[in-house]
A and B are shown apart, each in its own frame.
Chain A
Amino acid sequence: MLSRTADHLFWIARYMERAETAARLLDVGARISLLPSAGAGFRSEWDSILQASGTAEGFARKYDDPVQRNIESYLFFDRDNPSSIASCITAARENGRIVRTALTSQVWDALNTAFQELRGLERLPRSQLEMSRLTDWTMRHTAMVRGAIDATQLRNDGYDFLNLGYLLERADSTARLMDVKYYVLLPQVDYVGTGLDTYQWSTLLRAMSAHRAFHWAYGGELTAAKIVHFLVLNRQCPRALLTAIAGVSDHLERLAVFYGSANATQTRAQAMVDELQALSIDAVFDEGLHNFLTRFIADVADLGGLIHECYLSGDVR
């Protein structure tokens, strides 16, 4: 397959997953901000959303206050924000248009419909648009694209590049969503274990559509240790870091078989899987959750760079 085609497929998936993450972040923010009063000394809950999504700087350049309305505009509609839902869906659809021939008509339909509806939403007055409607809308469409891919795409190398995009982005986004906790709680460690703390963790689970799954898997009370275990190491959880990285590794292995040759990407991905599997939750907390996540996010970026170099750049020999 053309390297450029593979690259476009990879980015369709990354952008769709990124749009979904933005929607989930908006949900987290909205729920956290429903708390009665966060009290003085807290950072704004919304600010934490911007920090976690890596868009704080861009936002600050454009707006003064991280108030809900501005953040919603910035994370959903703003074309100046390359990670906004509108930007991501547009970019995913444009990548899709370029490689139309590598997509089934169902996948193209799902992408194109999302884009056309987005243009409809953009024409509506903002006052008519509830945030929950926008985040639901986003998750519905990202699920439709994902479903069309799973149901109809040929299981060839293109399918692997789509999945690599999804899984790398997902690994990155789960780590970032968890990191929101760090930003929210950083100033006052004594909140740990309080009702507020639990409420925030629970919100995080909800945002990952994993609230019920967690209870089925763990039962009982919410504790930080259980939740981190669930989101980092539990392969039953579809958004867990280990699940995502193991998926990346599987698809890279499939490529190695398909092409009849392996390269540095397989080794690197396997090393990441091994490291996660050997990890205990105590070790994560010993290192510090934030430090662990920061390191993990950097590792994922490196792996992405390696995949680019070995498959997508076009300089493969």
Chain B
Amino acid sequence: MFHADQVRPPYARLADWTQQMPDELRCLKQAEAEAFFRRIGITFAVYGEGGDPDRLIPFDMFPRVFTQAEWRKLERGVKQRARALNAFLVDIYGRGEIVRAGKIPAALVYRNAAYEKAAAGIVPPRGVYSHIVGIDIVRTGPDTFYVLEDNCRTPSGVSYMLENREIMMRLFPGLFRENRIEPIDSYSTLLRRTLASVAPEKCTSSDPVVVLLTPGHFNSAYYEHSFLADLMGIELVEGADLFVEGPFVWMRTTEGPKKVDVIYRRLDDAFIDPLCFRPDSMLGVPGLMDVYRSGGVAIASAPGAGVADDKAVYTYVPDMIRFYLGEEPVLQNVPTWQCAKSDDLRYVLDNLAELVVKEVHGSGGYGMLVGPKASRDQLASFAERLRADPGKYIAQPTLALSTTPTFVDQGIAPRHVDLRPFCLVGERIELVPGGLTRVALTEGSLVVNSSQGGGVKDTWVLAE
């Protein structure tokens, strides 16, 4: 149950709010929130699960709260990481100093499935490969934050950050009057500015044409694509809307071809250009890579950015921070065992029941083992998989994750959460005060992925 004396100070002020809210009102508000989400069409289709394509991600009305001091630390840590990850990408596609210096094994970089030979030698405008860095963070103590993973390609979920705030302001305007909460609605302006700031040199216009490239309306994140394009006031395009002619990329409009300067793509590298990558891809733009590589268009994130968010490369991010920035990491990494190393593998096999094991290239919580929750059989069969292909896995200790108050059927109960702030990297590095808080709605569960029954919350940063 929820007692004011058990929670961190910023939550104490929400105690009154919850006490004054009878169950009926809470149900009413919850229904209103759901109706709102359904009406705007924010839904999430789970890969491979079938079922209702219009399923909503559960929304928990109890906000996650950070104090200004807590946020300042997070902000410093996130921006530091975003800078280091970009420096790493420019380096490995350039001279590879960090490899030469022996700080990271060459094989991990150059034999990485996400290493893009076609990107070698390219320094994108402003030296940015990853323009939107989503960093997944958990908290284990009052002042202890761990980074779980970095997302340097096309982290999704920012529409939930914005819509969760929107619905909270509609449902509980009073809360926003009583608490001074940092606004986050500048995100779309900053995103557009960030994207425009990385237009290629060949773009002479002061107002570069930016488009958002989506795989199409069947994609589970289509809502987010269309939402972001709308907020930024840019065209939402599919591959077939773009074509290459001469040294540039153009979009097909009712008035004829219009030159495109920056492509914010929500499409994996493998699909963006059938001429360069997968020839069977119908989603991309033939010839796009030639235009990109000759400086006719900018692509965000830049092709090849995926090397930096590989779960094995993750282990080396603190070293990157020291190597490129000469700073100590503000945010810690979770201790990680690389099953590719035989010593680490032995430790992992011996302690499997205590550890979380993840696929190096996996995402969405699939192919993951949570040792303490697994049955004897599950542990045994996972150990088999580990022995068969150790290089595919990393392992981490199960952290004593912090919880935040969450509405459940019985009232209010603690549930595990994580946080994904979205850092923007262009001419400047920007971070809006907030992020996407994901919550594991099942009691005791540590898996917050929306594909595995997780929900979302509004995330507050209190002004001083």
Contacts and interface: CB of A to CB of B under 8 A. Distances in A.
Interface of A: 1-6, 94, 97-98, 100-101, 105, 108-109, 112, 157, 161, 255, 259, 261, 311-312, 314-317
Interface of B: 39-41, 217, 226, 229-230, 235-238, 240-241, 251-257
B238 to A, nearest CB: 7
Interface class of chain A by DSSP:
helix
Interface centre among B229, B254, B256 (most CB of A within 10 A): B254
Contacts of A255: 254
B254 A97 contact: no
28 contacts: A1-B253, A2-B241, A2-B252, A2-B253, A3-B241, A4-B237, A4-B240, A5-B235, A6-B254, A94-B217, A97-B41, A97-B217, A100-B226, A101-B230, A108-B41, A112-B39, A112-B41, A161-B254, A259-B254, A259-B255, A261-B255, A314-B241, A314-B252, A316-B252, A316-B253, A316-B257, A317-B256, A317-B257
Nearest to A261: B255
B256 A2 contact: no
Given A315-B252, A316-B256, A98 B241 contact: no
A141 to B, nearest CB: 16
A145 B411 CA distance: 41
A79 to B, nearest CB: 16
A3 B236 contact: no
B53 to A, nearest CB: 11
A4 B251 CA distance: 10
A13 to B, nearest CB: 15
Contacts of B41: 97, 100, 108, 112
Contact of A3 (B39, B40, B229, B254): B254
B235 A2 contact: yes
A157 B255 CA distance: 10
Contacts of A4: 237-238, 240-241, 252
B252 to A, nearest CB: 3
Contacts of A3: 241, 252-254
Given A1-B255, A317-B257, 10 more contacts: A3-B254, A97-B41, A100-B226, A100-B230, A105-B40, A109-B39, A112-B41, A316-B255, A316-B256, A316-B257
B254 A157 contact: yes
B254 A312 contact: yes
B229 A1 contact: no
Nearest to A109: B39
Contacts of A112: 39, 41
Contacts of A97: 41, 217
B262 to A, nearest CB: 16
B76 to A, nearest CB: 35
Contacts of A105: 40
A94 B53 CA distance: 13
Contacts of B230: 100-101
B389 to A, nearest CB: 40
Contacts of A1: 253-255
A183 B285 CA distance: 50
A2 B255 contact: no
A101 B241 contact: no
A235 B235 CA distance: 38
A100 B42 CA distance: 12
Interface centre among A100, A105, A315 (most CB of B within 10 A): A100
Contacts of B238: 4
Contacts of A94: 217
A112 B223 CA distance: 14
Nearest to A317: B256
Nearest to A113: B39
A215 B443 CA distance: 71
Nearest to A1: B254
Contacts of A317: 256-257
Nearest to A255: B254
Given A3-B241, A100-B41, A311 B254 contact: yes
Contacts of A98: 217
A181 to B, nearest CB: 38
Q: Which are the 5 A-B pairs with shortest beta-carbon distances? A: A314-B252, A101-B230, A98-B217, A311-B254, A3-B252
Contacts of B237: 2, 4
A206 B241 CA distance: 44
A94 B256 CA distance: 26
A2 B237 CA distance: 8
A105 B39 CA distance: 10
Nearest to A3: B252
Contacts of B255: 1, 259, 261, 316
Contacts of B257: 316-317
A94 B230 CA distance: 18
Contact of B226 (A2, A101, A316): A101
A317 B255 CA distance: 8
Contacts of A315: 252
B214 to A, nearest CB: 10
Nearest to B214: A98
B443 to A, nearest CB: 33
A233 B132 CA distance: 59
Contacts of A312: 254
A5 B255 CA distance: 12
A14 B287 CA distance: 35
Contacts of A2: 235, 237, 241, 251-254
A3 B235 CA distance: 11
B325 to A, nearest CB: 39
A100 B40 CA distance: 10
Nearest to B38: A116
A3 B40 CA distance: 25
